[in-house]
Amino acid sequence: MKLYRNIIFFLIAILCMGIFVGCNEDDTLDGATEVYITLNPTDIILRVGDTIKISALVTNLSGDRINTSVAWSVLDEKVAKILGDTAIVCVLGAQGKETKLKAELVNGKYALTSVTVTTNLPKGITPVNEEGLVISSKRSYDITHDSVLFAVSPKELLEDFTPQYTIEGLEEYKIPMTIDKEAGLVAIHYAAPRSAGEGKITVSIGEQATAQSASCSVLLMPVIYATFYGEKYADMPYLDTRPDKSVLPQWFAYTNETNMDINSEATIRVAMNIESGAKEDIEAAYKAYRWEVISGSSVVVTRMEEEFVENQGFDAVLTVRSGIDEGEAEFHCITPDTVLVATFTVQNYKTRYPVDEITVDRSSVSMSMGDVLMLTTGVVPSTSYAYHKPKVIAEDPTVVEVGKYDGNMITLKGLKVGTTKLVLTSSDKTLEIPVTITESIKSVLWESTNNRTLFVGQSVEWGVNVTTVSGGTNPYDVIWKSFDPSILTATPVEGSRGIITAIAEGTTTVRVEVNGVRSDAASVKVIGLQENLLYTSSNTDYENTVVYSDKDDLVILVTPESGYELIMITLAGVGKDDNYDGTYSVSDHQTDIEIDGAKVSATSGSVTIASRDTDALISFDLSFEVDNKTFTLKAENVLGVR
């Protein structure tokens, strides 16, 4: 109703309430017959440190609100200033001055109200910060130039008296005092050392007998970035483990709630990082925080200390122990910039959350050495699990390692071959699980002597080298597999040996597996045998037919022009002399034949080498057996390189 009474006297309302008149009647700025701007508050009185919210209501003649933007400004910005279009504050040193607050619409219409800045400082001298707020202390550390401001009220005292100052625990700056008479401010300048402690600055003004004085403590300590951390903060980025300087202060947690059973112990940690990471700054910061007991007597402190973290800072560690009574306790970890709140709730878990049974997802554990598996634990009733998560220990921790929980699953790792038990305890219940750790296979490798080209019908023995993690003997069966049994078969024999039997021409692969560890797949080629082969100089390649000695053996290479690619005959103990001429009987010398990689030993026959200038004439008549069938291999005066 007050608004409508003011409509009658709208000329008066323009001056007192900041109301202006527009054009056509409507609920829009352009269509309204009259426009009223109501400022809140009016006739503003500001003091140093005040932040006063401002608003404007724009209505038409009918009282309907008009939604439109309002631009705020101060006619004299040396007296006051606008904060984010929502509040007004005074400018430091503007005490006793006045200006106008202006609210302007987009059509140019505006409203004004007065703004007066007064002082709320007590008479005399008072330490203040840069915003004009009264302070009793200031933090400063390792800086060559810093200062403390003192406000003098009334400021005219500075016209009559020169302030006097004392600096304790700090070093005077080269110009220790500056005075701004217009603002009524005295600044005392100093240098702060790189050490923890406390300094003090005192300023007095007036006649000696009645002089007013004030002091400001200077706390010598580095800037600390602090946060709680640990597994309970796994949902917060980077805080499940100790955050380093790259994380703080972007991510932090300022509250910690811990539930405790009676007669139990709990430890919480606050990561405190120092920007420089220097050892002397970290140690100086030890004095820059403190723990305070706020309420409760249900826990007692058993540990309260710092743990140094190189190049980062330190951990403020608090350990408490609960008694036999339920209750709550609150602790504050206080730094110059932060208060971190820790609460401990002590309950009797046994009576509040009973456990009837411990459950697991397996009745026994069997695993290979070095393997890792997850054991899922639980309790009945399940609602008690959060308070009675089973503790798991190994009866012999050298056999199996018990890791950390991930939810309701705990990690187990086999360490050595043997047996032991897992003992699970929850409340007053116990469960034992047998554990067997078996040998683990490190690698399965083929022996290098395994021949990977065979004649049809030929059987050879292969071997694999099985290495265990412990270095002991392999206790497991070696499983042999041919990928195409129609070409060859693979049959295990004693230990790590197997028999490979070629069935038909072709190529396939063989693989072995030992306790889940596989070898590489070995490619095996099976070739056919031609009967009654005869080679002469006309059907062999002279340049690639060679006779040479290999240590004590004589090696003959014959390269056919068709059919097989290469025939190699090795005579043991014949290669000692440079003169190879002669006839060598299989009965006197071990003679091995290799045709395109397939190997067999001659059972009878001989080899003859005769010189021809610098070359050699090669003749041989050799017999060998494959699958109880005899084959012959002959050569007559094959010319080769000697």
**Residue 402: CATH number of its domain:** 2.60.40.1080
Under a CB-based contact definition with an 8 Å cutoff, are residues 154 and 184 in contact? yes
What local confidence, expressed as pLDDT, does residue 121 receive? 64
Task: Tell me, yes or no, whether 443 and 430 share the same domain.
Answer: no
In a domain, 182, yes or no: yes
Domain boundary among 525, 557, 582: 525
What local confidence, expressed as pLDDT, does residue 8 receive?
37
Residue 322 lies in a domain: yes
Residue 391: domain span: 356-436
- Asked if residue 519 belongs to a domain, the reply is yes
CA–CA separation, 140 vs 222, rounded Å?
7
Name the domain boundary from 90, 115, 140. 115
What would the pLDDT profile of 312-333 be if each residue is shown by its tens digit? 999 999 999 999 999 999 999 9
Considering the domain boundaries, does residue 62 fall inside one? yes
Pair 38, 54 in one domain = yes
Asked whether residue 104 is domain-assigned, the answer is yes
**Domain-embedded: residue 134:** yes
SS3 537: helix
Between vectors from CA 491 to CA 490 and to CA 495, what angle results, nearest 5°? Answer: 120
Q: What is the pLDDT of residue 279?
A: 94
- 232 and 257 fall within a common domain: yes
* pLDDT recorded at residue 21: 41
Q: Tokens for 180, please give them.
A: 């701004």
**Among 218, 239, 255, which residue terminates a domain?**
218
Closest-CA residue to 115 (of 128, 97, 141, 130): 97
Residue ranges, the chain, pLDDT below 70: 1-27, 31-33, 119-122, 576
39 and 61: one domain?
yes
> Do 329 and 387 reside in the same domain of the chain?
no
559 and 485 within one domain: no
Is there a single domain that holds both residue 257 and residue 336?
A: yes
d(CA 490, CA 511): 9
Q: Are residues 572 and 597 in the same domain?
A: yes
CA–CA separation, 5 and 442 (whole Å): 97
- What's the pLDDT score for residue 117? 86
Q: Are residues 290 and 342 in the same domain?
A: yes
Closest CA to 286 of 314, 322, 253, 247: 314
Widest pairwise Cα distance in the chain: 144
Instruction: Let me know if residue 481 belongs to a domain.
Output: yes
Residue 626 and residue 566 share a domain: yes
- pLDDT at res. 29: 72
- Residue at 126 is within a domain: yes
* Contact assessment for residue 225 and residue 246, using Cβ atoms and an 8 Å cutoff: no
Which residues are registered as beta bridge partners of 333? 291, 340
Angle CA 294–295–301, to nearest 5? 80
Claim to verify: residue 130 and residue 158 sit in the same structural domain = yes
pLDDT digits (tens, 9 = 90+) for 489-513: 999 998 899 999 999 999 999 999 9
Give me the number of domains the chain comprises. Answer: 6
Locate tokens 């003011």: which residue?
6
Same domain, 239 and 314: yes
